């Protein structure tokens, strides 16, 4: 366990009082594959959530939004292997059938169940398999099911994604544990593919929802693998309150410390997603400063981070900085002037005032680009704004993985 000045980082997932999990094989797409996770939430918890902004959102996203508007969730049901997206009225009914079956097993109302799905779009969810799996899945929930759950929600992920911290506040020590999945179809416009984070702190519901959105914007909404926003993106933050202590909100003196611990978990999960990008070999931070607004900086950063020409150069460790310059130039940031542009990769300055730096050594940049993690730093002017977007390279395997995805 490593210690920062605000929280202790655990190398293994910490159990969260008031949250129990189980992972089973329902046979959604492949017989015998672990593909279904249930997360039971104790009564009295608060739940915050953000979802995809893709206008063609999946049926489980629609149902989860509807259920959250009526009651506090008691159970999350997550399946991999089928997105239940693009499935029309029947897909909506299938999601509701799963909720009803889960509710019967847990002994709660159907609206207290939130469904989540990930996998192939446009194929009907085999809801009967999930319905049949619910009694056993819910009967087997345990406090220490986080690692198994992280594996159970994987699709093209190569590794499971888990993060845990303990925040040491004046009012008490609060645990935070989270899991996520995602390796492709990643440009979250809310959160990420799927992420589920829980804390044993007591948090006021409105404050929890605001925190979920704010931290998602600073973490999951600053990553991209391929520029595709999924139909199923969902992020849930649960606060069980079972650690005791006061109800936290933005006015409480412990709020900043607590929020920092939660943000660490969000950031670690988002970094793990990019590091595990389909076929990725490098994690690259694209930092843009000097914009008149953060939106200006984001436009420029995403133009670079999502450029296929830039991303293939990253894979080749090729210091073809003209691709970066061109991406910034087409980003749509108003009133760009080339004489205000500068570019560095790692510690090596490449462009200053829109021109190559005198004595620029391409071989030094190539050495930086051969490393597993580095930064591309870009200045677009002299304004006050700054932001960072995480991206990865495009390798041969990205094409192979996505060409073979349904085979």
Is the same domain home to 313 and 270?
Answer: no
Q: Which of 192, 212, 387, 388 is catalytic?
A: 192
Q: Are residues 226 and 250 in the same domain?
A: yes
Number of domains in the chain: 2
- Same structural domain for residues 63 and 190? yes
Rounded distance between C-alpha atoms, residue 138 and residue 119, angstroms: 22
**155 is known as an active-site residue:** no
Among 225, 241, 275, identify where a domain stops. 275
We report the CATH number of the domain holding residue 293 as 3.10.20.340
pLDDT at 1: 44
CATH number of the domain where residue 53 is located: 3.60.70.12
Residues 295, 259 share a domain: no
The answer on 142 and 219 residing in a single domain is: yes
Nearest partner of 179 among 204, 145, 226, judged by Cα: 145
Instruction: Kindly report the backbone phi and psi dihedral angles of residue 223, in degrees, each rounded to the nearest multiple of 5, phi listed first.
Output: -130, 155
Q: What pTM, to 2 d.p., does this model score?
A: 0.93
Q: What is the dihedral of CA 384, 390, 395, 397, to 10 degrees?
A: -160
pLDDT at position 187, please? 80
Determine the Cα angle at 173 with ends 204 and 244, to 5°. Answer: 50
For 31, residues 6+ apart whose C-beta sits below 8 A from its C-beta are 25
Residue range(s) defining the domain that contains residue 134: 2-275
| Per-residue pLDDT in tens (0 to 9) along the chain, 407 residues | 454 567 899 999 999 999 999 999 999 988 888 999 999 999 999 999 999 989 999 999 999 999 999 999 999 999 999 999 999 999 999 999 999 999 999 999 999 999 999 998 999 999 999 999 999 999 999 999 999 999 999 988 899 999 999 999 999 999 999 999 988 877 876 655 799 999 999 999 999 999 999 999 999 999 998 888 889 999 999 999 999 999 999 999 999 999 999 999 999 999 999 998 888 999 999 999 999 999 999 999 999 999 999 999 999 999 999 999 999 999 999 999 999 999 999 999 999 999 999 999 999 999 999 999 999 999 999 999 999 999 999 999 888 887 886 65
Residue pair 187/229 in contact (Cβ under 8 Å)? The answer is yes
DSSP-derived 3-state class of residue 96: helix
């Amino acid at each position: 366990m490593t210690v920062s000045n605000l929280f202790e980082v655990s190398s293994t997932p910490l159990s969260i009082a008031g949250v129990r999990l189980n992972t089973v094989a329902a046979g959604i797409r492949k017989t015998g594959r672990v593909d279904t996770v249930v997360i039971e939430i104790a009564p009295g918890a608060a739940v915050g959530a953000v979802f995809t902004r893709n206008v063609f959102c999946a049926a489980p996203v629609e149902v989860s939004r509807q259920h959250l508007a009526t009651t506090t969730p008691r159970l999350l049901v997550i399946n991999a292997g089928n997105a239940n997206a693009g499935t029309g009225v029947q897909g909506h009914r299938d999601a509701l059938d799963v909720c009803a079956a889960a509710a019967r097993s847990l002994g709660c109302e159907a609206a207290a169940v939130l469904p989540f799905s990930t996998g192939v779009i446009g194929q009907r969810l085999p809801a009967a398999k999930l319905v049949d799996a619910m009694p056993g899945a819910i009967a087997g929930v345990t406090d220490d099911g986080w690692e198994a759950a992280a594996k159970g929600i994987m699709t093209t992920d190569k590794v499971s994604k888990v993060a845990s911290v303990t925040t040491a506040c004046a009012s008490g020590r609060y645990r935070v544990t989270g899991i996520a999945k995602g390796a492709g179809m990643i440009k979250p416009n809310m959160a990420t593919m799927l992420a589920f984070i829980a804390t044993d702190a007591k948090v006021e519901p409105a404050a929890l929802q605001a925190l979920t959105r704010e931290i998602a914007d600073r973490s999951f909404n600053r990553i991209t693998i391929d520029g595709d926003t999924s139909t199923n993106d969902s992020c849930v933050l649960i606060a069980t309150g079972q650690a005791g202590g006061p109800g936290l909100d933005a006015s409480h003196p412990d709020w900043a410390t607590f929020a920092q611990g939660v943000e660490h978990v969000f950031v670690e999960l988002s970094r793990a997603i990019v590091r595990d990008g389909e076929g990725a070999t490098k994690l690259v931070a694209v930092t843009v400063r000097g914009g008149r607004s953060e939106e200006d900086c984001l436009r420029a950063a995403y133009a670079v981070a999502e450029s296929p020409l830039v991303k293939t150069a990253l894979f080749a460790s090729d210091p073809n900085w003209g691709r970066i310059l061109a991406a910034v130039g087409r980003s749509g940031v108003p009133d760009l002037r080339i004489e205000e542009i500068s570019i560095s990769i790692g510690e090596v300055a490449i462009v200053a005032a829109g021109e190559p730096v005198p004595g620029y050594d391409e071989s030094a940049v190539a050495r930086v680009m051969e490393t597993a993690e580095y930064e591309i730093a870009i200045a677009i002017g002299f304004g006050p704004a700054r932001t960072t977007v995480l991206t990865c390279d495009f390798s041969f395997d990205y094409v192979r993985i996505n060409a073979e995805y349904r085979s």
